[in-house]
Amino acid sequence: MKPLAPSRPRTPPVDSFDRDAARAIEAATGLPTDGRESVSSPSQSPSPSQSQSPRLIPSPSPSPRPRLIPSPSPSQSPSPSQSQSPRPSPSHSRRSTRLTSAPRACEPTEAPTVATLLVPDPALQLARLRLARGWDAPLAVVAEDRPTAPLLAVGASARRAGLQQGMSLAAARAVLPSLVACVVERHRVEALHEELAAALRLFSPRVEPVVFPTLGPHGARLPCAFHLDPRGFEKSYGGPASWARLVHSYLTGRGLHGALVVGFGRFATVATALAHGRGEPRLLGEPCSQRRALEAVPLSCMAPLLDRDALQALDELGIRTIGQLLALPADEVRARLGSTAAALHALACADLPLPLQGHPPDEPIVESGEIDPPDDDRTRLLFAAKRALDRALARTARRAHAVCAVELTLALDAPRRLATRRLVLRIAPAEPTLDVTLLCDLLRLRLEAAQLPAPVARLELSVETTARRAEQLELPAMRASRRDLHALDRALARVRAAFGPRSVARARLREAHLPEAGFALEPFDQKPRAPLARVEAHETAPLPPVRRLWPKALPLPPRDPDAPERGPRLQSPARLHGPCRLSGGWWVRHVERDYYWAETTDGLLLWVYYDRPRRRWFLHAVAD
């Protein structure tokens, strides 16, 4: 089957323009003006065999951008001898009108489609803002304020002094005594991430966090890093460059520094931002310039996305840039370098300009009502809050969401001299729900425990929602055959509503020298991820004693004031078992304790210790 030849360009008939212009067009293109005869006098018309127009033969090049190479220039008018000469042969016309592909060049055919904003080391920047330190101050972020705590992030000046991420705080201060360590909790970084996401929606309606699910076994996510859509703001900001400068000025106005890269692909802009660091925004106006910038990115800059073992394996093979990785065959990368390198190779090769899936922020669900006249009766206040709660639940159900927390703000009808004029009560069910009876029960418990110094004149109820989760239906017989774990969550939610959000906590183990520092209490806000293990009781195996530690050891009077080391004075005679000496803590305060198990005649088992430097006895725990 012959390929379809491109359609022949047609020119208007001769009557529509003068003959001089027609003759110039015919001399430039070699084609007749009407497709049948040349624009010339009848005496100069060629023979019928020569009057056929030449065919356009397409170039075998697959380029979709053909260009026509004319034979003579339109400015050169034909001489009389040339006008009387016969028309060139069809082969000559085919050579003169052959379609050739345009050279591959960087042509800005379209505007940039994606921008990446990256805030490096957000925990370190939060610590710098909290301590009001300069960029050159020796600063590090630790998980806990103790000598053995590892360094999570290290500033530039501390890194130049030889400190590295993962060193202990004691070793780091031995190298750099002027090091300032700061504890930044994870929830503060998450709060900064949410604040930046909400603020960036003022500059673009499509904002998406930077996530690469194929990198690593669990994917790769960069905190405080976002993809933005810069299109459609030419009339508002004057182009992508002005828009990028405005976004970057907002970031610097908050006291943060970061990198902003505007280009055509997600991975390319992220890699360029990681290599660019902080500074002025960078605009990759052409796809080929983006490709060159991506190939020049060192693989060492991809440490936030790749694990250390993969980077070390690539470095040992001499592969130190993304361009060197892309030069390898795609079929051999997975077999020789592993799945992580193959995923990175695939992302760099096929960086498709997929549209951003920005999630518009939901409007907060807030309902309010006036209490006229002001009232302080808990029952009437509960009914007023229930009316607002019913309206809020109806709006939540229309979104296909469920309520995960309710915040009730009470405006008190109090004089100005009273310090507390607003009271905020917060409840959280065990799991997201739309059950108004359950939420009202928790509100009742919270209102009964609250102290109202004055009557309430106005209330405002706001709810926090989340998407509903689909659960598998069960038969009643299947549900009755095992324990209901949700009952425990509902009971804890009632305790939390009655006594406050910090009344339910769990212990988290940590490495420490003293027993009272070996754990930390944190709020119990979610269910444990791991399922509860089944414990089978054996009659022959006695259970080990469980020590209930006091938050602060209770002092005990000595049995003999002149010889306090002989033992403590207890209500019932006791027999001491021990001692077990614990000493250390020289880096903070010298500690030397002798621990004993005190068995009383009442059957109690007490864990006491004798503090040698202070010559006093203390009760530390009671065994159950």
Q: Kind of pairing, strands 180-183 and 139-142?
A: parallel
User: According to the per-residue pLDDT averaged within each range, which of 143-147, 281-285, 511-515 is highest?
Assistant: 281-285
Instruction: Give the H/E segment covering residue 208.
Output: strand 207-212
Q: What is the mean pLDDT of the chain?
A: 75
Confidence of residue 454 (pLDDT cuts 50, 70, 90): confident
Question: Who contacts 60 (Cβ-Cβ below 8 Å, separation ≥6)?
Answer: none
Token readout for 490 is 């509902």
CB 321 within 8 A of CB 298: yes
pLDDT of the residue at 74: 41
pLDDT of the residue at 382: 92
Of residues 124 and 544, more confidently modeled: 124
Geometric angle at alpha carbon 124, from 222 and 147, rounded to 5°: 115
Geometric angle at alpha carbon 258, from 214 and 165, rounded to 5°: 70
Sheet holding 605-611, edge to edge: 547-556, 616-623, 605-611, 591-600, 574-584
3-state secondary structure of 343: helix
Of residues 298 and 561, more confidently modeled: 298
pLDDT of the residue at 534: 52
The 8 Å CB, 24+ separation contacts for 370-376 are 370/457, 370/458, 371/455, 371/456, 371/457, 371/458, 371/459, 372/457, 373/455, 374/413, 374/454, 374/455, 374/456, 374/457, 375/455, 375/456, 376/452, 376/454, 376/455, 376/456
Is there a cis peptide before residue 579, judged by omega within 30 degrees of 0?
yes
Write the pLDDT tens digit of every residue in 414-430.
777 666 788 899 998 88
CB count within 10 Å of CB 531 equals: 7
Token readout for 310 is 């993969």
Token readout for 387 is 């009316």
pLDDT of the residue at 476: 58
Write the pLDDT tens digit of every residue in 475-514.
555 555 556 667 777 888 888 888 877 788 888 887 777 8
Separation between Cα atoms, residue 513 and residue 569, nearest integer Å: 28
Separation between Cα atoms, residue 205 and residue 210, nearest integer Å: 16
pLDDT of the residue at 39: 38
pLDDT of the residue at 564: 75
Separation between Cα atoms, residue 87 and residue 236, nearest integer Å: 57
Least confident of 215-224, 318-327, 378-387: 215-224
pLDDT at 48 over 60: no
pLDDT at 76 over 80: no
pLDDT of the residue at 600: 82
Of residues 617 and 564, more confidently modeled: 617
pLDDT of the residue at 408: 93
Confidence of residue 100 (pLDDT cuts 50, 70, 90): very low
Confidence of residue 387 (pLDDT cuts 50, 70, 90): very high
pLDDT of the residue at 390: 93
Q: Kind of pairing, strands 282-283 and 259-263?
A: parallel
Confidence of residue 55 (pLDDT cuts 50, 70, 90): very low
pLDDT at 127 over 50: yes
In angstroms, what CA-CA distances link 96 with 28, 31, 99, 148, 495? Answer: 10, 11, 9, 81, 90
